[in-house]
Amino acid sequence: MGFFREGGPLPRHATLTMAPLPAFAHAPQEDYLARLRGAVAAREAEISRQRQAAGRSVLGRRQVLRQSAFDAPRGSEPRRQRSPRVAGGSKWARIEALERLRTFIAGYREAWLQWRAGDRGVVFPCGTYGLRVYAGVCCAQAP
């Protein structure tokens, strides 16, 4: 129990109950298990074929155990690349979408600052999701 504090809110033990998907709830258990095992085997075979086609292999047990838990990959992936928020075939449609996004972000930021200052009647822009669902904020109607 090294990861959880003594007397914390989490139980010392938990039980995981496995059950068939609802579509198979009334099928005999042997049939369900056979279909499940078949589906898993087919997916494993597909992944194995894809891996072999790409020329990759899987480390065996010995090679995994021989590795140090403190090693890091030799190469490094490029970091902090730009992630496009808007994509599309038309330059002008992208520009328009980016302008709508900028307007939304500015309105959201202004409303959030007011809400954080205690104004619970502030109206957030249409498209606000998380605060609407989890904090019950008011949102503008869709145009």
Interval 47-106: pLDDT, tens = 999 999 999 998 889 999 999 988 888 777 777 666 677 877 788 988 898 999 999 999
Interval 1-47: pLDDT, tens = 456 778 888 888 889 888 888 888 788 888 888 998 999 999 999 99
What pLDDT, on the 0 to 100 scale, is given for residue 10? 83
Q: Are 125 and 114 in contact (CB under 8 A)?
A: no
Q: Retrieve residue 39's tokens.
A: 């589906």
Instruction: Look at residue 125 and tell me whether its pLDDT is greater than 90.
Output: yes
What is the mean predicted confidence (pLDDT) over 105-133? 94
